[in-house]
Structure 1
Amino acid sequence: MKTQLLTTLENAKNYTLSVAEAMPEKGYPFKPTPAVWTFGELLHHIGYGIGWWEENYIKQRPSDWNPPAATTRKAATIAYLNQAFDALKENMENTPLSDQVVAGFYATIDHVTHHRGQATVYLRNQGIVPPEYVY
C-alpha cells in the first residue's frame, strides 16, 4: 500500500512540475479573470496546501490556514512546489499507515489535482498545450 501511495505522489509531483514548467516566466502573473489567482499564486497555493493538508489530516496537528506571501517568480514557485512534495514524501515514508493517514493523503492529492486542473486551463488560455497526463 505504501508503495502505491508513494507512486501516486511521485506522479502528482511530476505532472504538477510539468505544468509549472510549461508556463513561461512571463505567464506567471497571468489570470484569466480578475476574480481568480494568477498562475503563480495558484501554484503557490498548491504548494502551501500540500503542507497544510499534511499537517491537519496526516499528522493530525491542527494548523490554521495562514499562507505566506505567494512566490512571484517561476523558479521560486517551482522550488516551493518541490519542497512541499518532498516534505510530504518524507513524511509518508516515515509514517505508519492508518486509515486516517491514507484518507489524509488522498485528500491532499485531491486538493492538488483540483487546482492543477485549473492551472492547465490557464495554460490553454495562453495558447499552451498542457503536458500530457501520465499515470
Structure 2
Amino acid sequence: MKTQLLTTLENARNYTLSVAEAMPEKNYAFKTTPAVWTFGELLHHIGYGIGWWEENYIRQQPSGWNPPPSTTGKAATIAYLDAAFATLKENMESVPLSDQVIAGFYATIDHITHHRGQATVYLRSKGIVPPEYVY
C-alpha cells in the first residue's frame, strides 16, 4: 500500500512541477481575473497546503492555517513546491499507515489536484498547452 501511495505522490509532484515550469517567469504575476491569486500565489498555496495537510492529517499535529507571504518568482516558487513535496514524501515513508494517515494523504492529493487544475487554466489563458497528464 505504501508503495502505491508513494507512486501517486511522485506522479503528483512531477505533474505539478511540470505545470509550474510551463509558465514563463514573466507570467507568474498573471491573474485570470482580479478576484483570484496570481499564478505564483496559486502555486505557493499548493506548497503551503501540502505542508498544512501533512502536518494536521498525516502527522496528526494540529496547527492553524497561517500561510507565510508568497514566494516571488518562478525559481523560488518551484523550489518551495519541490521542498513541500520532498517533506511529504519523507513523512509518508516514515509514518505507520493507518486509516487516518491514508485519508489525510488522499485529502492532501485532492487539494493539490484541485488547485493544479486551476493552474492549468492559467496556462491555457496564456495560450500555453499544459503538460500532458501522466497517471
Normalising by the smaller structure, the TM-score range is: over 0.9
For the pair 1:88 / 2:70, whether they are aligned, the reply is no
Structure-1 separation of matches of 2:77 and 2:18: 13
Structure-1 separation of matches of 2:125 and 2:71: 21
1:121 Cα deviation from its structure 2 partner: 0.1
1:72 Cα deviation from its structure 2 partner: 1.3
Aligned length: 135
Residue of structure 1 in register with 2:124 after alignment:
124
For the pair 1:2 / 2:5, whether they are aligned, the reply is no
Residue of structure 1 in register with 2:110 after alignment:
110
Structure-2 separation of matches of 1:34 and 1:52: 26
TM-score by length of 2: 0.99
TM-score by length of 1: 0.99
- Supply the AA of the counterpart residue of 1:53: W
Structure-2 separation of matches of 1:54 and 1:94: 13
> Aligned with 1:104: secondary structure?
helix
Residue of structure 2 in register with 1:56 after alignment:
56
Structure-2 separation of matches of 1:129 and 1:18: 11
1:74 Cα deviation from its structure 2 partner: 0.1
Residue of structure 1 in register with 2:69 after alignment:
69
Residue of structure 2 in register with 1:14 after alignment:
14
In the TM superposition, structure 1's runs of 4+ consecutive aligned residues that sit over 2 Å from their partners are none
- Supply the AA of the counterpart residue of 1:92: M
- Supply the AA of the counterpart residue of 1:66: N
| % same residue | 85
